[in-house]
Amino acid sequence: MTEIPWVQIFLDVPRATWQESLEFWPAATGWSASPTRGEAGQFATLQPAHGRGWVKLQAVDGPPRVHVDLDAPDRAAAQRRSSSLGAVHEWTYEGVPVMRSPGGLLFCHTVEPAGVLDRSDPLRVLDQVCIDIPADRWEGEVAFWRDLTDRDLTKGGEPEFSFLGAEGAVRILLQRLEESSGPVRAHVDFAVADREHEADRHLALGAKLVAAQRWWTVLEAPDGQVYCLTDRDPVTGGVRRKA
């Protein structure tokens, strides 16, 4: 399979729950955690069975959140492009520009080798970041991420969803929220073969049930990250509808 530009998902978790995060997320994903790194041991990568990891943990001084790293061989050009589309440069960490989308979602411009997402586990895979967009930000934020990633925009099966797909890479789901205004944020989604069984497994690991919807289940990790288990095929990533 041809390698494509890499997208990394960062689970930014409170420093106070760092050890809980290092225990919960490897167990939830079925992946191993790398040794911690960084000047304060604040980073770790979740490593799948094959290929490069695309989900990383970061301890932060603040509440849980999700951000993405967008990789490009010419980082300066990528930053100029995101700025021209309306992004704001917040700060720089060890040469990495930390940006904010027009709606307020943090993301970084990084330089990493291309890769292909590992879908060898038929039971589960954390493969999607969902960008949650209040109604008044919807059109502008969707256009920003479409143009920034240069991915095709596809309407979802429900009117509040659209996708920015790319075969072999992290999926980007765009969700229009019912709330009329507020900041744009993000959460992560698993594709799972058996959602009921997987939800029970996550609950046994320490997650809390937030809501069970028709096509997905909302959970909260011990570190406060809210995430979903979805009725999508872990091998293909495609939506799977039950009768």
158: which residues sit within 8 A by CB, 6+ positions away?
none
Q: Which helix (H) or strand (E) holds 76?
A: helix 75-84
Contact 12, 226 (CB under 8 A): no
Quote the pTM value: 0.95
The Cα 121–Cα 159 span in angstroms is 30
Going from the N-terminus, what domains does the chain have, and what CATH number goes with each?
7-110 (3.10.180.10), 124-230 (3.10.180.10)
Q: For residue 82, give both structure tokens.
A: 């995101």
pLDDT in tens, the chain (243 residues): 334 568 999 999 999 999 999 999 999 999 999 999 999 999 999 999 999 999 999 999 999 999 999 999 999 999 999 999 999 999 999 999 999 999 999 999 999 887 889 999 999 999 999 999 999 999 999 999 999 999 999 998 889 999 998 888 999 999 999 999 999 999 999 999 999 999 999 999 999 999 999 999 999 999 999 999 999 999 999 987 654
Smallest CA-to-CA distance from 173 within 160, 183, 113 is with 160
In whole angstroms, what is the distance from residue 239 CA to residue 211 CA? 20
207 CB neighbour count, 10 Å cutoff? 21
> d(Cα 53, Cα 159) in Å, to the nearest integer?
32
Q: How far is CA 111 from each of CA 59, 108, 114, 165, rounded to the nearest angstrom?
A: 21, 10, 9, 21
Predicted confidence at residue 243, as pLDDT, reads: 45
Report angle CA 68, 209, 175 to the nearest 5 degrees: 40
Residue 2 confidence (pLDDT)? 38
**How high is the pLDDT of residue 5?**
66
